């Protein structure tokens, strides 16, 4: 099974090395294909996502991606579009031993990944800038069904749609209508909805009311960072981009150039991202081993400076590997 590994820029390289330490010490039938993309690739090849990288990615079963810097829109966004990974899955879970705003939080944000304002359809004429928001019935139905199927598979009880249908009556109105149409097919799972602004308040003050959240592209991008903030930060936030044929796995954090090269980046998000990849590919037991090891290490107070610890990036990875073994 071929896995494309794209470290990218900044701390992407460091956290990818940490995740690979874990993966390469598990008994997995993977062939890793190392590829280039990002700011450095642009300087080297004249484009941030070289044609060779894109062609090779399409020969692989999954992509493990570190981070991209200024070229992120031309790399990870393009990869999502090219591979049609329409569902962005971002868990937000609190961990024992990690200082956070709230405890016992366990939610999953399912974000539509292909349209909305992130289509990048923009114009500027005579000092007026305009952006076009695309929301389609097809994409809305696909992502809502994905969210309900995830809830069903993980035995979660509720799916909540976030929107702003009272203002954006056509685009969010369509999304909300489709949500409740699909919800009728899942009678055993509760369905409700909130306006996006109220939902942000509830995530900050009462996150336990959420189980699975489903929303449009830009809203999902924003609320997933908010959710990460209440459980300890982006250093703990993994994510997956899932399509019918391909899947891309990347931590929610970016390239973080301010700490790149110092060896202090938190690899937890990337290691949890790798465990999401394992589960997606059918390696459930190995995924559980990785997740339990992460929980054990964090509960013991072993972590990197962003969470108040003193471990280096690879030292954290080594502790997690010891916990697995």
Active-site residues, by number, are 118, 164, 197, 221, 225
Buried b (16+ CB within 10 A) or exposed e, 306-323: bbebebbbebbbbbbbeb
Extended strands (E) in 133-278: 158-163, 190-195, 212-215, 240-242, 247-249
Q: How far apart are CA 249 and CA 47, in angstroms?
A: 22
Sign of CA dihedral 204, 206, 208, 211: negative
What is the three-class DSSP state of 240? strand
C-alpha separations of 77 from 49, 113, 128, 133 in Å: 11, 9, 26, 16
Residue 252 and residue 286 in contact, taking contact as beta carbons nearer than 8 Å: no
In which region does residue 243 sit, left (phi positive, over 0), alpha (psi from -120 to 50) or beta (all else)? beta
User: Nearest-CA neighbor of 236 among 207, 263, 265?
Assistant: 265
């Amino acid at each position: 099974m071929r896995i494309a590994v794209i470290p990218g820029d900044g701390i992407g390289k460091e956290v990818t090395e940490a995740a690979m330490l874990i993966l390469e010490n598990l008994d997995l039938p993977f062939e890793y294909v190392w590829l280039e993309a990002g700011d450095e690739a642009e300087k080297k090849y004249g484009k941030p996502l070289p044609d060779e990288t894109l062609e090779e990615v399409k020969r692989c079963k999954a992509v493990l991606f570190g981070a991209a810097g200024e070229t992120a829109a031309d790399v990870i966004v393009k990869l999502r579009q090219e591979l049609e990974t329409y569902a962005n899955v971002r868990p937000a879970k609190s961990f024992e031993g990690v200082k956070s705003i709230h405890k016992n939080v366990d939610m999953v944000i399912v974000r539509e990944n292909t349209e909305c304002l992130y289509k990048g359809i923009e114009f500027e004429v005579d000092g007026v800038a305009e952006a076009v928001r695309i929301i389609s019935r097809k994409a809305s139905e696909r992502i809502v069904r994905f969210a309900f199927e995830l809830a069903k598979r993980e035995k979660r009880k509720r799916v909540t749609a976030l929107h702003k249908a009272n203002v954006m009556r056509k685009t969010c109105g369509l999304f909300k209508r489709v949500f409740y149409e699909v919800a009728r097919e899942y009678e055993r799972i509760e369905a409700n909805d909130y306006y996006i602004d109220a939902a942000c308040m509830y995530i900050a003050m009462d996150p336990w009311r959420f189980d699975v959240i489903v929303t449009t592209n830009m809203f999902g991008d924003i609320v997933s960072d908010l959710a990460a903030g209440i459980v300890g930060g982006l250093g703990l936030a993994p994510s997956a981009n899932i399509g019918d044929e391909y899947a891309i796995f990347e931590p929610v954090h970016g390239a973080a150039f301010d700490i790149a090269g110092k060896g202090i980046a938190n690899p937890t998000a990337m290691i949890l991202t790798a465990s999401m990849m394992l589960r997606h590919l059918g390696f459930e037991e190995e995924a559980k081993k990785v997740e339990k090891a992460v929980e054990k290490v964090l509960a013991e107070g072993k972590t990197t400076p962003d969470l108040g610890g003193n471990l280096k990036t690879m030292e954290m990875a080594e502790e997690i590997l010891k916990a697995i073994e």
